[in-house]
Amino acid sequence: MKIRTLIDRIQTKDIVLPEFQREYVWRLDQAKELMVSLFKEYPIGSILIWETQTPPDLKGFDAAGQKQRGTYQVILDGQQRLTALYMLLKDNPPPFYKEKEIENDPRQLYFNLRTGEFRYYQVTRMELDKAWVSVKDVFLGKVDAAGIAMEMAPDSTEEIKRLVSAFSKTHQRLLNIAERDFPDLGVPSTASVDDAIDVFDRVNSQGTKLTEAELALAHISGRWTTARREMKKLIEQLSDKGFIFNLGFMVRCLTAVIHWRGELSKIHNTDKETLTVGWEKVTAALEYLTDLLPTQAYINGTDDLNTLFVFIPLVAVIVKQGGAFRNEDEIKHALHWFYAAHMWARYSSSPNEKTDHDIVVVANNEYPYEELEKQIIEQRGRIKVEPGDLEGRSIQQPFYRMAHVVAKQRGAVDWFNGLPLARSVGRSYAVHSHHIFPVSRLYDDGGYNGNNHLHVKIVNEIANRAFLTERTNREISNRLPKNYLPQVGKRYPNALWAQFIPDSPRLWRIKNYERFLQARRELIAQAINDYMENLITEPLKSVKPTLAELLERSEGLTLEFKSSLRYDLYLKTVNPKLEWAVIKTISGFMNSEGGTLLIGVEDAGEPLGIEADLQTLGKRNQDGFELKLTELIANYLGENVLPYCKVSFEKIEGKTICQVEINGSPAPVYATDGDRKNFYYRAGNSTRPLDMDEAHQYIAQHWTS
């Protein structure tokens, strides 16, 4: 079916949308990329239609109106594409949506008659270049391509002809999109509502999908054909040093250092030059980090860690600082966070979201370590280790690997051959996990039962493990500690202390096994805490980023740009929707981690200034602007939230920018529009709404009583 026919049938309500479909949730870039694909005649998939006389509840219909009609064609798959196309061809939302339900309106999409490029409206780019025309105006017949060409052409007959021909061709090619066939698949009319919903679920979940990292790498490889080869080369190189990474990890590092985000979709449309420059920085950072960790952190490879995610924020820090930490003191602060994030499993749940947040913290802070550690404390309650944290914990837990790090820092040696354990050499001397009290003796003589899962945990917990070479582990076999620890203490005086062994021989007897565990847990916890405390002598001084530095960054979890407060540069008039957009952003920051809002800046970070806004105010200066902004915040969010906002102004390139520093609120903040309360929060680089059920769930997770 042709696109124009589909759009017309939506307009006449012959094609409809069921209530069980989600709302229009496409981002602006998704609508733009659909148009790019159509213009280039790329495949755009198909839509799925169910023809029925007994449809479920439909969006945009009341019960009486729905019964009056006969056969309906119900959209089961493809509504995001069709909604975007409808708005661009008709300059209105489709009948199943109201204006206020469209969060990301694509109707300010523009098209360049000269280049065939699509972009959203940017006043500095498009105001003086008549080749940029509104996409919706083209489809509404409001664009005279030949006339625009003649206005722009120099006084040369040949050049006029050439430009008229070129503009007319691209103009017609854009119009031809409406006549393109959009494949439609059908669900039998005999299908019931349950059948239709089942089909909908299958369409949206069936098949083996690419992971986010795999999809991102596919996009990268499309622009940089040797990307996989280069990444695998570095993976092999670093594996020789004991650090085993994978392609997904490399893609995450690359996204972090190019876009200062952990959201992998950010890298999809990155050009080759940016990718290769970013890759050089990732390579240098990982080479530096994998040289530093064995010597400064007693981390000899990825086997000493439970997750790779802890590397990514450090890679971002190193790249941001030009390829290395600035001094020894900063190395210690970085390692303190690194150990804490690993030990307390910062990334064990929602790793993508937490990595994204932490990379944004790195981007926005010269010394991000204190802010990064606040996130761990909020998540876990503390960084200091308590003996109870080790009780019943197995060697799969990060605390075990942290104990290994501290043992190496204390100069731990093998108990039988005296080899330092900081760097094992050869298979026979690889470090093994040794049961201080042998498992067989605990089961045979200690009264523990291998079929009792609680007993199994006690027998195998961290406090019964030491770090020895494979050969020594075999030699000790099932000897009891009371028989071999005295020899170790005489041969290597500090060896038992280095591995947290209680110095009372009475605790080395099997009848006192659980007292031994309790004493050793205390020693391990104290040793970890001492090591962590000795890393940091005083806080590093953070320097707030300048306005120029903020403009160089991309919008993210804690940074948002708005072109204006109220003056619509596109419509050339005051637009209350813009004020509401600012309020949404402020409330979203307050309901999240806080952030910075810059007013008078385009999405791409180009300063526009607030001078046009000032001309709409009674008091046409910065005081008047701040007064208006404060009034809006008080009216929509409440006067009680004003202390969470700090407003300042700064000029850059002769243009005045308003900077609003917003703190996270200690309580939920609602944006009130008439009688309706709205709840917004930050997700990635956008402010998103939650319905009341979702808001209550978010509030329960975000704020503790």
Residue 450 has pLDDT above 90, yes or no: no
608 with 648, same domain? yes
Take residue 43 and report the two structure tokens written for it.
């495949």
pLDDT digits 0-9 by tens, 42-65: 988 888 888 888 887 787 776 555
Take residue 221 and report the two structure tokens written for it.
């490889």
Out of 148, 179, 205, a domain closes at: 205
Region 83-97: what's the mean pLDDT?
A: 94
Distance separating alpha carbons of residues 49 and 367, to the nearest angstrom: 54
623 with 599, same domain? yes
Distance separating alpha carbons of residues 499 and 407, to the nearest angstrom: 6
What mean pLDDT is reported for the chain?
Answer: 88
569 with 693, same domain? yes
DSSP state at residue 607? B
Residue 286 has pLDDT above 90, yes or no: yes
Region 383-411: what's the mean pLDDT?
A: 93
Residue 386 has pLDDT above 90, yes or no: yes
34 with 134, same domain? yes
- Write down the pLDDT at residue 193: 66
Backbone angles phi, psi at 59, to 5 degrees: -70, 135
Residue 666 has pLDDT above 90, yes or no: no
Pick the more confident residue, 392 or 67: 392
Over pLDDT 90: what percentage of the chain?
57
| pTM score | 0.54
The residues, ordered by sequence, that sit 6+ positions from 635 with a Cβ below 8 Å of its Cβ are none
Residue with token string 């986010």: 212
Distance separating alpha carbons of residues 585 and 564, to the nearest angstrom: 13
Residue 483 pLDDT grade (very low, low, confident, very high; cuts 50, 70, 90): very high
Among 124-128, 378-382, 424-428, where is mean pLDDT lowest?
424-428
Q: Quote the number of domains for the chain.
A: 4
Backbone angles phi, psi at 384, to 5 degrees: -60, 135
User: Is 577 a member of any domain?
Assistant: yes
User: Is 388 a member of any domain?
Assistant: no
Residue 693 has pLDDT above 70, yes or no: yes
410 with 363, same domain? no
Region 332-351: what's the mean pLDDT?
A: 92
200 with 266, same domain? no
Residue 427 pLDDT grade (very low, low, confident, very high; cuts 50, 70, 90): low
The residues, ordered by sequence, that sit 6+ positions from 84 with a Cβ below 8 Å of its Cβ are 24, 26, 30, 31, 34, 106
Most confident of 151-165, 201-215, 270-284, 506-520: 506-520
338 with 445, same domain? no
Residue 66 pLDDT grade (very low, low, confident, very high; cuts 50, 70, 90): low
Residue 511 sits in which domain range? 397-535
Pick the more confident residue, 168 or 209: 168
User: Is 693 a member of any domain?
Assistant: yes
- Write down the pLDDT at residue 207: 44
41 with 187, same domain? yes
309 with 454, same domain? no
Out of 172, 205, 238, a domain closes at: 205
Most confident of 71-85, 109-123, 214-228: 109-123
Region 538-556: what's the mean pLDDT?
A: 76
pLDDT digits 0-9 by tens, 122-170: 988 898 899 999 999 999 999 999 999 888 877 777 888 889 999 999 9
Residue 526 pLDDT grade (very low, low, confident, very high; cuts 50, 70, 90): very high
559 with 441, same domain? no
Region 356-381: what's the mean pLDDT?
A: 86
Residue with token string 């005649």: 41
User: Is 392 a member of any domain?
Assistant: no
Distance separating alpha carbons of residues 470 and 322, to the nearest angstrom: 41
User: Is 391 a member of any domain?
Assistant: no
* CB environment 162-187: b (16+ within 10 A), e (fewer): ebbebbbebbeebeebbeeebebeeb
User: Is 540 a member of any domain?
Assistant: no
Over pLDDT 70: what percentage of the chain?
94
- Write down the pLDDT at residue 199: 67
- Write down the pLDDT at residue 243: 95
pLDDT digits 0-9 by tens, 235-256: 999 999 999 999 899 999 999 9
User: Is 242 a member of any domain?
Assistant: yes
- Write down the pLDDT at residue 366: 78
**Strands 72-77 vs 47-52: parallel, antiparallel or unpaired:** antiparallel
- Write down the pLDDT at residue 449: 92
Q: What is the CATH number of the domain that holds 558?
A: 3.30.950.30
Nearest to 86 by CA among 73, 72, 74, 102: 102
185 with 253, same domain? no
Pick the more confident residue, 392 or 423: 392
- Write down the pLDDT at residue 279: 95
Out of 508, 535, 562, a domain closes at: 535
Amino acid identity, residue 399? F
Residue 121 pLDDT grade (very low, low, confident, very high; cuts 50, 70, 90): very high
Residue 634 has pLDDT above 80, yes or no: yes
Residue 99 pLDDT grade (very low, low, confident, very high; cuts 50, 70, 90): confident
Nearest to 242 by CA among 299, 164, 185: 299
Residue with token string 């360049």: 112
User: Is 592 a member of any domain?
Assistant: yes
Region 578-586: what's the mean pLDDT?
A: 95
Pick the more confident residue, 486 or 194: 486
Residue 705 pLDDT grade (very low, low, confident, very high; cuts 50, 70, 90): very low
378 with 289, same domain? yes
- Write down the pLDDT at residue 200: 63
